[in-house]
Structure 1
Amino acid sequence: MPLTPPSRRNGRHPLARTRPKAAVPALAHTDTDMQGGEEGIRNSTVQRLRWRRLTWRGLLTEQGRPQCIRDHARAPWLIVATVCIGAFMGQLDASIVTIALPDVRTDLGASLTAITWVSLSYLVVLVGTVAAVGRLADMIGRKLLYTYGFVVFTLASLGCGLAPNLTTLLAFRVVQAIGAAMLQANSVALIVGAVPRDALSRAIGLQAAAQALGLSLGPALGGLLTNAGGWRWIFYINIPTGILGCALGWVLLPRTRLRAARTAFDWPGLALLFLSVTAGLIGLSQAATDEPAHPGIWLALTGSATLGWAFIRRQARTDAPLIDLELLRRRDVASGLGSGMLASAVLFGTLFAVPLHLTNSGGLSIAFAGLALTALPLAIGLTAPTAGALSRRYGVRRTTVLGMLASMVGVVVTAGCVAALTRSANGAAGDAAVGLGAVAATEIALAIIGVGLGLFTPVNNAAVMSAVRPQESGSASGVLNMTRALGSAFGVSVTSVAFGVGGFAAAATVLAGCAALAAVIACCRPARQGARTDPPTSVEQGRSAVPAPRIPARAGHRDAASEQPVQCLRLHRKTLRSRHDQRVDWT
């Protein structure tokens, strides 16, 4: 049997000195050491977050609010105030441009058909993209898209003001509409995520009041700016408002806490929706100017219906739809969207028909007709913030039905008062000689319509948004604004057709029928709304405590007892870092 060399026994030389393994000294740590470690982690985390905000990646990531704003008792209402700036600016721009179209046509030398696309291109792009932008905001963040919506809208307004020709003006109007879609698709969703449910109707009422204020100031302000400095100033007026809204949005708006899962964007669905909306709006706009039997109108409306059917089929089959059809199958959501579209038709149909009748049949000036019309949006602005208290007492269904019935009565009374005002104007020698009683009666009748819409709109919008999950609020807000814009185009077109056929009496009959149908649809709403799981607001949310780490025993290790303090300190520092990331990465 061969002998094993001594140098290979047990893998080492027999004469090698055996060095005893030094024991790991126990690391003494106190609460002071732990506090010092926490302070170091806090400083390093803050520096890392501040550096990240200065990079381009930080500009594409939602940043949190400062802690003093987040913990403020009025933090939710600061969010509502920021959203109201965007709501005011959007409605101001929508109403101010119409007044300046004659001057734009003269200055740029455009035809009458071409100049109508200054308004139509904006409406087409806005309606066709607002639902898709809402879906995108659910995935990447509502604060990010809303804040950069101000940036896009402001830069596009500057481009519109500097446009040397009609083509450039139309191109910047398209970009401006994209910015408006980014604002409108996230406005109601931001309010829903920040305000408790019991104050939601009041918050949306304040937003509706801001919209009504912009809608009422638009014609008067547009006339003043056009007369003082030219039509370009109707776009320049958006620049300071947009800068203020962007700054406040970056500081005051919270990050999106609950997001939808990131999925592939449905580009074919967006194309079908955009083409369907475009064809429908072109058909409705032609119906407002041409004969109803014109073949181009029916061709556009038929194409819109066909493309809309293809879009619905696409949404039913795709895994990541732009609009969740299950949401539209819910009775509370469907009734809210349908009645809201008809309410928007009543509002914009009245705003279109009343001044048209007063100027054409009554011989009054545009300034007088616009001034008389301000009673309607002002009544909306005064009523909307108080509609929430009425809905909490009598319920959503009763409040919305009452609002639309009041609007129907107001339309009927307005028809009689406007007829009396027209007779008074025809027998007078000018605006100043018009009977004061006829003017006051017309103002009261228009205010009744405004009160009804002020009761309906915030309560209806709050009910629709309360019926969806928080991570779907962007999509629901986009669909809500899309139906509202479609209702406004529908109201103007059907009112124009009725006005051409039977005068203001026929137009008022159509609008009263729309209000009555909206009341019937609102009556189909469930008596009890579906409960929505509210995310904790910035004031109500609490930080979840991280449990103390458990140190598993390492069996068979001779130095487990001596290494346990080292492991404990490492895990404690990791726990502190996790806790501080939650604390510093502000909501």
Structure 2
Amino acid sequence: MSVRERPAPPHPAPGPRLRTLLTTERARPDAVREHRWAWRLAVGTVCFGAFMGQLDASIVTLTYQPLRTEFHSTLAGVEWVSLSYLLTLVAFLVPVGRISDVRGRKLMYLYGFAVFTAASAACGLAPGLAALVVFRVVQAIGAAMMQANSVALVTTSAPPGKMRSALGIQAAGQAIGLALGPTIGGALVSTLGWRWVFGVNVPIGIIALVAGHYLLPRTRQPAAGSRIDGPGVLLLGGSTTAALLALSVASGLGPPAWTALLLAAAAVAAGWAFLRRQRQIANPLLDLALLRAGRLGPGLLGGLCGYLVLFGPLVLVPVELARRGSGALATGLVLTALPLGFALAATTADRLLPGGWSDRLRSRVGAAGCVLALTLLVLLPPTATLLPLSLALLGLALGIFVPANNTLVMRAIPTTSAGTGGGMVNMTRGLGTAIGVAAVTLALHLFGGDTGARAAALTMLAFAVLALASTLPRRAR
């Protein structure tokens, strides 16, 4: 029998073929992989997730009032629509990043988009508040699968000399989603209803799934090992959840104030147990040696402070301007100065700043700009002219600081642990966001009026100073 006449090998059974399809990363088409813009296409695809995540973060709060009306709930109950999402997201980011390093970052990212999109549709169809909260938890798991891999996909796709520029593009995608959230959310709630605040994610998610399948690179260097530290996941999730709940209770969430102390003690105990376990097991969820290496520890601290300073004003400014009689449209226009400044600096700083500046120097300049902007926010009256200038300066400074700081963090992490590192970066972002919201709310709750606003601004200034300190050489710190 000739070679041509040999029978073709039997096809694999449908079951194994489907299993392989669902558990194996697919390579990009050759035309995409070899294109000179391949890394830009990958970064642009990741920006879908960056945009959606921040759009969702800034849009959901606009549904509070219609949810209270439709489901006859209190404000404390409706707040769980946001709180349940945030708690789940922060708890899952590092574990999902570790799983992604082993199983494949592209695979987990696409699954995250699928889960997030399906859960968004379910949120839009929720029959009651309890069901909506459950669907938000599922949505947060999908968001964790995306966000834990977003930074890793950007840094492993971009050439070494373009990493900071690529992270700046991703940060700009986040800022644009943050800036458009109040406008899009207000328009949807006032015309189509609150359900479309979640429904808007569905078409974007479908487009992103298709784009990700063809444009994202598969994982080149998977990490060794396949066992995930289940008890470590529970301890980390318990610690972060208890800490955020303690801040929320102290800010007037509803339970008695003494429960905040119990929650804080539980957070410390779970965190201590988590760190002790990570030192003892062979395949830790979080390699503590990474935290002691180079710039990683200070960089994560700086990232937490940076996102705290970014999200704190998003709570303070609307409350303060509403107290002074400003309308929603005027408040939205003033507030937009912050994310627009962030997006502008994140996309242009790499071209406008001197090429000889190191990432550490860029981080230091950005952090110093944050200190200056928040000092002006503390000292100057919040008028319609001066407040946008302070917010724009703060956004520009953060647009310089955040991409440079994230670059320092990711360069301190081995490529095989990029997913874990990306999860850590995004976990500090989630914690910074939550602490920023809680710290501002706590200051306003404790003091009220002009004193509360000034105390909130001083709190943000203190964290900006801490971010600046994180950029100093080790001996100076």
TM-score band, normalised by the shorter chain?
Answer: over 0.9
Instruction: Report the Cα distance in structure 1 between the residues aligned to 2:312 and 2:261, rounded to whole angstroms.
Output: 21
Per-residue deviation, 1:482? 0.5
Tell which deviates more after alignment, 73-82 or 101-110.
Answer: 101-110
| Structure 2 partner of 1:517 | 466
The correspondence for 1:193, drawn from 138, 142, 156, is 156
1:500-538 deviation line (CA, Å, top 9, x unaligned): 3232122111111110111011113699xxxxxxxxxxx
Q: 2:20 aligns with which of 54, 57, 63?
A: 57
- Change in CA separation of 1:57 and 1:107 when aligned onto 2, cut-off 3 Å: same
For the residue of structure 1 that corresponds to 2:251, the secondary structure is helix
Of residues 349, 353, 356, the one that matches 2:316 is 353
**Mapped contact 1:391–1:399 kept (Cα < 8 A):** no
Instruction: Name the CA distance, whole Å, in 1 between partners of 2:72 and 2:392.
Output: 39
Letter of the aligned partner of 2:394 in structure 1? I
Normalising to structure 2: TM-score of the pair? Answer: 0.93
Alignment correspondent of 2:404: 459
Task: Please identify the structure whose Cα radius of gyration is greater.
Answer: 1
Q: CA deviation at 1:295?
A: 1.0
Instruction: State the partner residue of 1:487.
Output: 432
Q: 1:250 maps to what in 2?
A: 213
Q: Give the CA deviation at 1:291.
A: 10
Change beyond 3 A, Cα 1:330–1:526: farther
Gap change, CA 1:87 and 1:391, over 3 Å in 2: farther
Structure 1 counterpart of 2:332, from 361, 370, 376? 370
1:126-171 Cα deviation digits (max 9, x unpaired) = 0000100000000000000001111000000000000001111111
Cα shift readout 1:235-281 (whole Å, capped 9, x = no counterpart): 00000000011100111111111011123211000011111111111
Instruction: Classify 1:270/1:391 alpha carbon distance in 2 versus 1 (closer, same or farther; 3 Å).
Output: farther
CA distance in 1, matches of 2:387, 2:178: 19
TM-score (norm 1): 0.76
TM-aligned CA deviation for residue 414 of structure 1: 2.5
Distance between the aligned counterparts of 1:222 and 1:259, measured in 2?
40
Tell me the distance in 1 between the aligned counterparts of 2:85 and 2:354.
Answer: 35
How far has the Cα of 1:413 moved from its partner?
Answer: 1.6
- Structure 2 Cα separation of the partners of residues 192 and 447 of structure 1: 28
Question: What is the aligned length?
Answer: 470
Where structure 2 has 5 or more consecutive residues not aligned to the other structure, the ranges are none
Q: Does 1:404 align with 2:367?
A: yes
Alignment of 1:444 with 2:386, yes or no, is no
Aligned pair partner of 2:252 in 285, 289, 300: 289
1:377 aligned partner, one-letter code? P
Tell me how far apart the structure 1 counterparts of residues 268 and 5 of structure 2 sit (CA, whole Å). 63
**Partner residue, 1:276:** 239
SS in 1 for 2:179: helix
Contact (CA 8 Å) 2:68, 2:74: kept in 1 or not?
yes
Matched, 1:497 2:442: yes
Structure 1 counterpart of 2:440, one-letter code: T
What SS does the corresponding residue of 1:523 show, helix, strand or coil?
coil
CA RMSD of aligned residues (A): 2.5
| Deviation (angstroms), 1:416 | 4.0
Which stretches of structure 1, 4 residues or longer, exceed 3 Å deviation after superposition?
51-54, 290-293, 387-392, 524-527
Q: Quote the residue 1:119 is aligned against.
A: 82
Match for 1:134 among 97, 104, 107? Answer: 97
Taking the aligned partners of 1:337 and 1:525, their CA distance within structure 2 comes to 15
- Which residue pairs with 1:473 in the alignment? 418
SS of 1:393 mapped into structure 2: coil
Q: Which moved more, 1:176-185 or 1:191-200?
A: 191-200
Shift of 1:391: 7.3
Equivalents in 1 of 2:254, 2:109: separation in Å? Answer: 41
State the secondary structure of the residue aligned to 1:331.
coil
After superposition, where does 1:188-587 map in structure 2 within 5 Å?
188-289=151-252, 294-360=257-323, 362-389=324-351, 390=353, 392-417=355-380, 419-421=381-383, 439-499=384-444, 500-501=446-447, 502-524=451-473
Q: 1:268 to 1:525 in 2, by over 3 A?
A: same
Instruction: Report the CA distance shift for 1:211/1:311 in structure 2 as closer, same or farther (over 3 A).
Output: same
Q: Distance in 2 between matches of 1:66 and 1:40?
A: 31
Secondary structure, aligned partner of 1:301: helix
Query: Per-residue deviation at 1:320?
Result: 1.0
1:264 is paired with a residue whose SS is coil
